[in-house]
Every structure is written in C-alpha cells, then in structure tokens.
Amino acid sequence: MSALQYKFNLLLAAFALFSSSQAAAQAENFPNKPVIFVSSSVAGGLTDVVGRVLGERMSASADMRGQTVVVSNRPGAGGVIAAMSVVNAAPDGHTLLIADLSNAAIAPLLMDKPPYDTLRDFAAVSLIGTTPFYLAVNASLGVNNWKEFVAYARANPDKLSYGTSGSGTIHHLATEMMKTRADIKLLHVPFKSSGQSTPALLAGDIQVLFSAFQAVAPHMKTGRVKLLAVAGPERSSQAPDVPTFAELGLKDMIFVPSVHALAPAATPKSVINKLSAEIKKALQTPEAIKRFEGLGIDPVGNTPEQHLVQLTSDQAVYRAAVKLSGAKVE
C-alpha cells in the first residue's frame, strides 16, 4: 500500500468515525422541542385519532426527553395540504405526517402532475397500523358466499350497485379490481364518505360495499349485512370465518387500509430510527392496544427499512389499480 493510499484510508476512517459520532449526538439530543404529527383529517377523523392516541403514549416515554407529541390538523385538497406542509418542514424529525393510505400511496397516482412523490419526498418511519377490508353485501340480496354472489352478479349484469367514498378511493379501486378479476359488472355509486355509504347499504340503495369491520359489525349481528371475503393477505381475527380473496382464487386482491408515519426526506437516519423505536414502543402499551382495538386497527410498528418495502409495494399495487379504474383527480 502506498503512503498516499494509507493516508486516504485514514481519512476515510476518521470521516466514518465523525459521521457515526454526529449521528449518535443527533439521536441523543432528539427531540429538543415538541414533535408535531400533521393530520389531513379534521378532529375526530382517522389520522387525527390515531395521531392523538400515539402521541399521548409517546409523550409519556422517558426517551422523549420531556417533550410532548401534538397533532396539527390540516385538512383540505385531498390531503395535499397536510402532505406538502411536512415535505417543506425542517428535516429534523420534529414534524411528521400521519398519513392514511390515500395520502401515502393513492393520491399522487391520481394526478397528472402530483405535487409530491411519497418515495422521493418522504422518509419512511413506521407503518402504524392496518385495518382488514371486507366485501359486504346487503343480506336481502340472498347470497350466502362468494360463489353465489359471483353467480348472481353474472346473471344480472349492471343490476347491482356498489358504494364508495368517491372515485379513486380504496373502496373504488378494490371494487374495480374485483369486477375485473371476477368478470362481473356492477354500477358505481360514489358517496362523500363511508358515513353515507354504509347507511345506503343498509337501506338497500346499494347492494355491495367494501368496508372496515367496525362500520358493519353491528348490522351483521342483526342479520342485515353479510361478509363474503376479506381483502388481506390472511384471515382476520375480527371475523375468522370470512375467507380471503386469495382463498377464493383472486390472489392479487389485497387491499389493506393503513396508517403511516412519514418524515421529510432529508431527516437524519439516526433520528428516523429513534422515532421508529418510540412509535413501536408506544404501540405496544396496553392503553394504545385497547384504543386501537376499539377503532378496528391492528397496530404494527415496524422498522424504517420494513416500512419502505411496504410503501414501495403499495405504490405498485395501487398504480395498477388506478390504471385499471381510470380514476383521475383534476
């Protein structure tokens, strides 16, 4: 080894040691002010409630150095206002986006010129939780399982209506994919929210709806709604008798509503790792587990690396679903 090469290697080693020490110092001194969870929903909405439950438990952690975690609601523009406020925030870990699946994966795919790219403009912190997504039908339809539903739909093309929370939502994308894979025809009836589509299902104004368990569970008990399948990788403990679409032969019918923690892209890795660890720790507390169970959410809390894999996979799934549906947002 030449003297020049030897000196170069010493410089590289010194730089690596300095970088490592600097990263450790950043994590050790974080947070040094309140951490803000930005939510695109109004007070009481999904990401607002999730952020408050999580923030309350994180604020109680000794490793948060006495700093609180608070929620800032910035609704509007389909989640773009909230997302861009975090994209443009200081990349120091003190501002995070609590993003639902629409913010994290779907919304940018619906726009010709999206203002942000999730994989480019955000750093993955943690997948907070997921919610099983069920195919529900009005019991008056008279079908008892998936096979009977498909037979009925094929015999009555365009006579059944399905509800969604609007064009380009996960409800819309999942149903359009199901229609294509099962070779059936259904009419789309968009609503402003599931607060409108669920009553429409009960009233018989629509016959088909993808829904979270909590919204339809009371009506299953009264016999007004039946669940035919769940769009997840495995059966859910919420309704263990309901088969997955994969079991029914539709292997790519995996649509899972989820909530994510995202930071500005340039946030130091050491800070990202600390945030991820704090989120996981908070999700494992009995208080958080109980609250999320009441919301119908399965807490996750994974590593930034695992979260990035999930986000990348979601982008591929929903890009294909958006293309298939033809959904667009001006």
More confident residue, 123 or 192: 123
Whether residue 270 sits in one domain with residue 206: no
Domain assignment of residue 319, yes or no: yes
The total domain count for the chain is 2
More confident residue, 77 or 230: 230
- Residue with the two structure tokens 């001006």: 330
Whether residue 138 sits in one domain with residue 124: no
Domain assignment of residue 1, yes or no: no
Domain assignment of residue 245, yes or no: no
- Tell me: the pLDDT tens digits for 151-179? 999 999 999 999 999 999 999 999 999 99
Domain assignment of residue 88, yes or no: yes
pLDDT at 16 over 60: no
Domain boundary pick from 179, 214, 230: 230
* Structural domain harbouring 298: 31-130+257-325
- Tell me: the pLDDT tens digits for 105-142? 999 999 999 999 999 999 999 999 999 999 999 999 99
Rg of the chain (C-alpha set): 22
CA 292 to chain centre: 14
For residue 187, give the CATH number of its domain.
3.40.190.10
Whether residue 125 sits in one domain with residue 144: no
Mean pLDDT of 239-266: 96
Mean pLDDT of 201-205: 95
Whether residue 207 sits in one domain with residue 61: no
- Residues 88 and 162: beta-carbon distance below 8 Å: no
The residues, any chain, with a CB within 8 Å of residue 102's CB and separated by 6 or more, are 78, 79, 169, 170
HSE-up of residue 36 (Cα within 13 Å, Cβ side): 15
Q: Please report the pLDDT score of residue 19 as a whole number.
A: 44
Whether residue 303 sits in one domain with residue 267: yes
Whether residue 140 sits in one domain with residue 57: no
Q: Please report the pLDDT score of residue 196 as a whole number.
A: 92
DSSP designation for 157? T
Whether residue 159 sits in one domain with residue 70: no
Whether residue 91 sits in one domain with residue 41: yes
Whether residue 268 sits in one domain with residue 201: no
Whether residue 218 sits in one domain with residue 268: no
Q: Please report the pLDDT score of residue 212 as a whole number.
A: 93
